[in-house]
Amino acid sequence: MRKLMPVILLYCLMVTLPLVAKPMLLGSHSVWPPYIQNDDRGLSYDIVAAAFARSGETFALQTAPFSRAMRLAYNGHIDIIPALWFTQTRAEHFLFSQPYLYNELIFISQATQSVSFSGLASLTGKNVCMIRGFAYQNLLSGHPKVKVITQLHVSECLRQLARGRVDGMIADKFAAAYTITHHFQAQTFTLHPQVVASWPLHIGIVKNHPRAQQLIQLFNQGLAEIIEDGTYNHLLSQYPMISSDLRPIQSQ
């Protein structure tokens, strides 16, 4: 019997190994409806989770202020930033996936105020609200006479704007429209149609993550598959405000 023990132990190990689940991939981001919702879901979550599921990976999301989420990634406490714009500074530390959406940034003002917007230069002398930690603050780096007021969420910028504490805000047009529809009276604001910038949206993984290259490849492959078989468009259809006016993503 003693001679059989190693064989029995090996058999038990072989039987139980398939039952051991892969470690769950954990991501973090600030609340940014409709991309990242309060319930740790949203369009970005849906797309990222579906893409990773094609390779058997499970993705979970926890919301946190964006600056904190970035620190969690840098310190190795999470695996993924699920919605990240590319900058040269970030590229020193992060690997970026293929884009899975495009964000169009617009200027928003109070409807009762006569504000003429013809580009960033026309904001000279104005107080403009932007989301703290988001890379688009760099858009105003060449406009020192524009005072930037930062808040944690789009809803907080809209609240400041509704109260007349800022002259306007710059935000993703779908995030702004979604938040206004669900939490404000639409006639309170003017969404200026001119697009300030259009930026691709990626997932980001810090370069020193032990699976960084592999996870980026798995995501890109999964993204191509869900675009090809229609899953991607089905996910978009759950957010009709976006899907009706979205720049299409092509599989790579």
157: closest CA among 195, 127, 198? 127
Would you state the pLDDT for residue 222? 98
Per residue of the chain (252 residues), give pLDDT as tens: 444 344 344 444 444 444 445 789 999 999 999 999 988 889 999 999 999 999 999 999 999 999 999 999 999 999 999 999 999 999 999 999 999 999 999 999 999 888 889 999 999 999 999 998 888 888 888 899 999 999 999 999 999 999 999 999 999 999 999 999 888 988 899 999 999 999 999 999 999 999 999 999 999 999 999 999 999 999 999 987 665 555 556 555
Q: Which CATH fold topology does 103-198 show?
A: D-Maltodextrin-Binding Protein; domain 2 (3.40.190)
Tell me the residue ranges of DSSP E strands in the chain. Answer: 25-29, 59-63, 81-84, 94-96, 101-110, 127-131, 147-151, 168-172, 189-206
SS3 of residue 145 by DSSP? coil
Do 23-102+199-243 and 103-198 fold alike per CATH? yes
Write a three-state SS string for 152-195. CCHHHHHHHHHCCCCCEEEEEHHHHHHHHHHHCCHHHEEEEEEE
**Nearest partner of 205 among 35, 54, 52, 42, judged by Cα:** 52
User: What pLDDT was estimated at residue 87?
Assistant: 93
Q: Which CATH superfamily hosts domain 23-102+199-243?
A: Periplasmic binding protein-like II (3.40.190.10)
At residue 246, the pLDDT reads: 55
Q: Where are the domains of the chain?
A: 23-102+199-243, 103-198
> What is the rounded CA–CA span in Å between residue 148 and residue 49?
34
Report pLDDT for 250. Answer: 59
